[in-house]
């Protein structure tokens, strides 16, 4: 990921250098042996995006990097729910790179309550939390509402949308696909707002179009929310980022397990079994649903023998921090 330096009025260089965060790019690609795949002639590998950075793991790094370059040290205002991974990542970036952050949090009823571990982490990292009612939150993209919310941030604030998904985020996720191009036939990723899928598909493709002549890997999105809206969101994001469609991608809407943040016993049992098989802790709200979808598709015979499958591990489960706080692996999108 490229970096930039800004010149102050007196001619001194003020470096805004993301490389000093020392991200692990490219992220590791780890093959795993799983008889549910191997007996069908399939190979499975895990793309360990969760190892990119301890505070900005997975698709959060990919989606934020170009946005942070565009912000160039200005205050950043963004949006999320009470357990948003995205809010935590922006707050951590502000602490690490020294810029102010403001988080617009869905649910004004939370304002008078003790902060949950996720929001407490945001506050500890210096983020100013602004709780708004749900109607205001839904209207956050309305110009008048946006102007009102910007009044809660320092002057000149740069706005990053909920979940971090915009044209720059999609362009940042292209590199994920490029790291896998030629090494995978189908790459599965969990989806909230669709930005990672939009960029992944483009990066897997050797050229414009969907699918490109001469082939290229296929991106498979597993939505974690109900509603059937994500296809339109991915197309709109690709239009904004590239001026049109890129790559070969599809969605399988069957594995949201009841909707966002729903972890029914069957999903938890699947995740525990995967953990026991492979010695890897599995985040439940995104990664477990994606792995369940990929495993089910393999068992249904959806992939021909010889298919190289890659599962993108976009985040890790809750882990304790050295300061004693929790780091919940939960996101509003």
Amino acid 327: pLDDT: 35
Backbone dihedral angles phi then psi of residue 122, each to the nearest 5 degrees = -60, -50
Query: In CATH terms, is domain 22-56+166-316 a member of 3.40.50.720?
Result: no
Q: What is the DSSP letter of 157?
A: P
Residues 177, 193: Cα–Cα separation, whole Å: 18
- Which tens digits make up the pLDDT trace of 184-206? 999 999 999 999 999 999 999 97
Looking at residue 162, what is its pLDDT? Answer: 92
CA distances from 276 to 65, 148, 243, 291 (A): 34, 50, 44, 14
Report which of 76, 165, 62, 58 is spatially closest to residue 125, judged by C-alpha positions.
76
Query: Which stretch of DSSP H or E encloses residue 119?
Result: helix 117-124
Distance between CA 163 and CA 160 in Å, rounded?
A: 8
pLDDT of residue 321: 39
Domains of the chain, by residue range, sit at 22-56+166-316, 75-156
* Preceding amide of 26 cis, omega within 30: yes
Cis omega (within 30 of 0) on the bond before 261? no
Specify the residue for token string 């969605």. Answer: 251
Q: Enumerate the β-bridge partners of residue 188.
A: 220, 311
Q: What is the pTM of this model?
A: 0.86
Residue owning tokens 């649910």: 107
On whether the CB atoms of residues 65 and 18 are closer than 8 A, the answer is yes
The SS3 call for residue 306 is: coil
Domains 22-56+166-316 and 75-156 share a fold: yes
Supply the CATH classification number for the domain 75-156: 3.40.50.1100
Residue 171 has pLDDT above 90, yes or no: yes
Query: Within 13 A of 327's CA, how many CA atoms are on the CB side?
Result: 20
The pLDDT tens digits of the residues spanning 129-145 come to 999 999 999 999 999 99
Lowest mean pLDDT among 2-6, 219-223, 267-271: 2-6
């Amino acid at each position: 990921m490229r970096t930039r330096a800004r010149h102050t009025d007196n001619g001194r260089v003020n470096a805004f250098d993301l490389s000093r965060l020392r991200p692990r790019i490219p992220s590791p690609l780890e093959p795993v042996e799983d008889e549910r795949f191997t007996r069908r002639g399939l190979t499975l590998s895990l793309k360990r995006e969760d190892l990119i950075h301890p505070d900005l793991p997975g698709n959060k790094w990919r989606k934020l990097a170009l946005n942070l370059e565009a912000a160039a040290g200005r205050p950043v205002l963004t949006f999320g729910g009470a357990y948003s991974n995205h809010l935590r990542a922006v707050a951590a970036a502000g602490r690490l790179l020294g810029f102010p952050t403001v988080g617009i949090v869905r649910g004004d009823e939370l304002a008078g309550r003790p902060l949950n571990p996720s929001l407490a982490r945001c506050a500890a990292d210096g983020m100013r939390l602004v709780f708004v009612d749900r109607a205001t939150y839904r209207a956050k993209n309305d110009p008048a509402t946006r102007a009102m919310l910007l009044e809660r941030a320092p002057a000149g604030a740069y706005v990053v949308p909920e979940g971090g998904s915009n044209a720059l985020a999609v362009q940042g996720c292209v590199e994920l696909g490029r790291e896998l191009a030629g090494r995978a036939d189908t790459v599965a990723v969990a989806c909230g707002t669709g930005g990672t899928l939009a960029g992944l598909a483009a990066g897997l493709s050797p050229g414009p179009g969907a699918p490109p002549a001469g082939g290229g890997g296929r991106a498979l999105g597993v939505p974690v929310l109900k509603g059937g809206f994500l296809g339109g969101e991915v197309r709109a994001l690709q239009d904004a980022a590239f001026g049109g469609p890129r790559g070969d991608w599809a969605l399988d809407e069957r594995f949201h397990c009841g909707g966002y943040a729903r972890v029914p016993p069957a999903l938890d049992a699947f995740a525990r079994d995967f953990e026991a098989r492979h010695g890897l802790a599995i985040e439940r709200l995104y990664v477990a649903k994606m792995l369940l979808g990929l495993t089910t598709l393999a068992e249904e015979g959806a992939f021909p023998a010889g298919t190289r499958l890659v599962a993108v591990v976009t985040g890790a489960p809750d882990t304790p921090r050295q300061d004693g706080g929790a780091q919940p692996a939960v996101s509003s999108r």
